[in-house]
Amino acid sequence: MNFKVITIAMLSMSTAISVSAQTIAEEPKKEKAKYAENVLAIAPIQLSENGVAGLGFSYERSLDKAGIIALYVPLSVVMNTNSEQRLGSNAHYNDPMVYVMPGLKIYPTGNQGLAKYAIGPSIVFATGQRTESIDYYYAYPYSSYAPVYPTYITRQHNILGMMINQSLNINPTPHLYVGTEFGFGFSYLNKLDGITQQTTGLVQFSFKVGYRF
């Protein structure tokens, strides 16, 4: 009697498991969350070698289905607010610089996911102004003593260079984007009023919030 009951129970369990497995196999597989290929972002925190008070905007678009390579075009404005320390006391000059840095973002594991790392090169175009101090010497009559009077000159400042950017990209939802970025590089051309200056280092950092679409 017990043997029959056990046999019937085992057959029933086997049938139930078989039916359940068939039902699961027939259910459509859920697709992974897909993130849109375009990103518009604003950077309320933006700094560069020119200063720490800045604002930035950027546009990004994936160039392949896997999301490994993306076109990236950031635009930023950075003010030099520490001119008093650089030029001396009572020297207040903001010296704004506008940066356009078109380039590429390369995602080694693709951009589909909650948190993704990217690295890529950018060309740097920057234009604005830079204020410098020039010491003015005045010699008193019948004396060799010459006190120094600083004079400030504001010049047109243009930069052409390159930069390598690294970024951490976070996608809390399919449409919300949060990211941080750090870049460093150097100038090919560095001119003040059209006069070539020595090569200068370039650096930038930003914190961005954006919308995927």
Instruction: Domain 36-212: give its CATH code.
Output: 2.40.160.20
CB count within 10 Å of CB 211 equals: 13
Q: What is the CA radius of gyration of the chain?
A: 30
pLDDT number for residue 139: 53
Q: Where along the chain do its domains lie?
A: 36-212
Q: What is the pTM of this model?
A: 0.74
Q: Degrees (nearest 5) of the Cα angle 95, 100, 104?
A: 145
Lookup result for tokens 């790392």: 117
Q: Enter the tokens of residue 95.
A: 């010296």
CB count within 10 Å of CB 10 equals: 10
- What φ, ψ does residue 119 adopt, rounded to 5°? -140, 150
pLDDT number for residue 16: 46
pLDDT number for residue 146: 57
User: Low-confidence residues of the chain, pLDDT below 50?
Assistant: 1-9, 11, 13, 16-17, 19-31
CB–CB of 132/168 below 8 Å? no
Lookup result for tokens 């973002």: 105
pLDDT number for residue 82: 65
pLDDT number for residue 130: 87
CB–CB of 74/55 below 8 Å? no
Cβ neighbours for 139, distance < 8 A, ≥ 6 positions apart? 145, 146
pLDDT number for residue 23: 44
Q: Provide the pairing of β-strand 201-212 with 38-48.
A: antiparallel
Distance of CA 67 to the CA centre of its chain: 17
pLDDT number for residue 166: 97
Partners of 4 in the beta sheet? Answer: none
Q: Provide the pairing of β-strand 115-137 with 176-192.
A: unpaired
